Amino acid sequence: MGARILVQLVVVLSFWSSSVFVAKAEDDYKYYTWTVTYGTSSPLGLSQQVILINGQFPGPTLVSVTNENIILNVVNKLDQPFLLTWNGIKQRKNSWQDGVLGTNCPIPSNGNFTYKFQMKDQIGSYTYFPSTLMHRAAGGFGALNIYARSVISVPYPKPDGDFTLLVGDWFKTGHKGLQQTLDSGNPLPFPDGILINGRGRSSFSGDQGKTYMFRVSNIGLSTSFNFRIQGHKLKLVEVEGSHVLQNIYDSLDVHVGQSITILVTLNQSPKDYYIVASTRFTQTVLTATAVLHYTNSQVPVSGPTPAGPTNEIAWSIDQARSYRWNLTANAARPNPQGSFHYGTIVPTRTIVLANSAPVINGKQRYAVNGVSYINSDTPLKLADYYNIPGVFSVNSIQSAPSGSGASLATSVLGTSHHDFIEVVLQNDENAIQSWHLDGYDFWVVGFGAGKWTQDSKKTYNLVDALTRHTTQVYPNSWTAILVSLDNQGMWNMRSAIWGRQYLGQQFYLRVYNPTQSLANEYDIPTNALLCGKAVGRKRR
């Protein structure tokens, strides 16, 4: 009997030790220290001040695997407070780490803050960038690539290489000058150029006959671009964490704040080819080129760059509608993406958000439902946690446009944890918009011209619309999204077009549960910076 019990004990201990080992293997920790400084670079041929991370412009690529934990100490050596936000990272139950002014006190000059977050149930191509002032216009941005765990299959063969392309508009005017332009009541000027990975010309090398992954992100401030590679087809495989049906394209539109992942097979004759990004929906077309170099090439790139699409809005809408969720593919989990039947859920609430460009007190502002957001000295998340009055009020922005005059406010829209909401993004302006929601991805179920109505729902894709974190809204048009509010916290919804965000086209979505539980939301970090009315407060 004693021997039998001993054998059982050994089996149990072996089980638990192996379980611990597996958990540790799946949820590793990675530690970084990033020092943020000023430096000089000449991205458009003119020497100018840029923001470096560990001496790099753009910043280091943050490479991770699903469910890894990131411990990242940011040391701010700038002359202004600074924050990084992790564009598209859901920060599950952890809006404390979101890195925007509504959730975090900025890192003071010569100070530091250690972010602690997990790549919980995510894969794909993402970016990070500064969320403070106009720092994003000077750099401080980089790629954030999350690879699938080895035990989860992906719906394509492993590529022979992996290239990251950060593409965006660029200004010769420094970030403080651009901020002064906005503060004086003027919109941003037209950009001076387009950069690929912070340079006017880059090169990417591959072997003939092999297939390579290109992770393409729009890291710019204001301008959509069209991406194409001379003589090559683009197979779209992933969009901001969603595997998609693998359609083949000649070129792809990428709007501000968006990321796509494509596969390209080097199946042409051995020479060099243009990689091209050119602005969309602009009277003046700016173009950046890079080079795709076949390793056995003896022929340099030549000839005119391949032309982009000539039809603007209709062509782009048709392409956007062709993006389809791959319902049978696994994502970060082993269950198929389409196992959550979003189209069968009746929304608990419809929210209509209309952007506008009012002049308030003689200065250009941008607004949502007539409210132009102004930052509080006290982060909203801290005010909520400590019950500090006078910082914000829930429903300080209405859930539909009222048609009344524009005003300034620290706008917060109250919602309930576990609601399933329909959000209509109504754009009555002549310029394209780009909207982002922190803490979530959402189903982009419809695009349409003119005013959205209840009848517009008949055009929704309720079967295989993909999920993503940033969507475009075409001029004088609407876009509809569905959001499952399963992530408690205080979440920023903003224009990804940074000048509009800076001048008020944003608000915060408070996803609230009256029952406080660590199962729903993590507690305040022990290293949380305190500022404004939260200074001197003690952890509850």
Helix (H) or strand (E) holding 21: helix 2-26
Helix (H) or strand (E) holding 17: helix 2-26
In angstroms, how far apart are the furthest CA atoms of the chain?
Answer: 89
Query: Domain 156-325 belongs to what architecture?
Result: Sandwich (2.60)
C-alpha 140/C-alpha 149 separation (Å) is 28
Contact 333, 152 (CB under 8 A): yes
- Amino acid identity of residue 362, one-letter, is G
The reported pLDDT for the residue numbered 395 is 85
Would 26-151 and 342-534 be classified into the same CATH topology? yes
The reported pLDDT for the residue numbered 9 is 38
Sheet strands (E) in 149-265: 162-170, 193-196, 203-206, 211-218, 225-229, 234-239, 242-243, 248-249, 251-254, 259-265
Strands 203-206 and 142-147: unpaired
The reported pLDDT for the residue numbered 2 is 45
Classified by CATH at the fold level, domain 342-534 comes out as Immunoglobulin-like (2.60.40)
Q: pTM, whole model, 2 decimals?
A: 0.94
Please list the rounded mean pLDDT of every run of 10 residues in the chain (540 residues).
Answer: 41 37 63 98 96 98 98 98 98 98 98 98 98 98 97 96 98 98 97 96 96 98 98 98 98 98 98 98 96 97 91 93 97 94 97 98 97 98 97 95 93 98 98 98 98 98 98 98 98 98 98 95 97 91
Q: Which of 65, 92, 88, 26 is nearest to 146 (CA)?
A: 65
The reported pLDDT for the residue numbered 27 is 85
Contact 297, 307 (CB under 8 A): no
The reported pLDDT for the residue numbered 84 is 98
Domain ranges for the chain: 26-151, 156-325, 342-534
CATH class entry, domain 26-151: mainly beta
Sheet strands (E) in 88-161: 112-118, 124-130, 142-147
The reported pLDDT for the residue numbered 200 is 85
Sheet strands (E) in 88-247: 112-118, 124-130, 142-147, 162-170, 193-196, 203-206, 211-218, 225-229, 234-239, 242-243
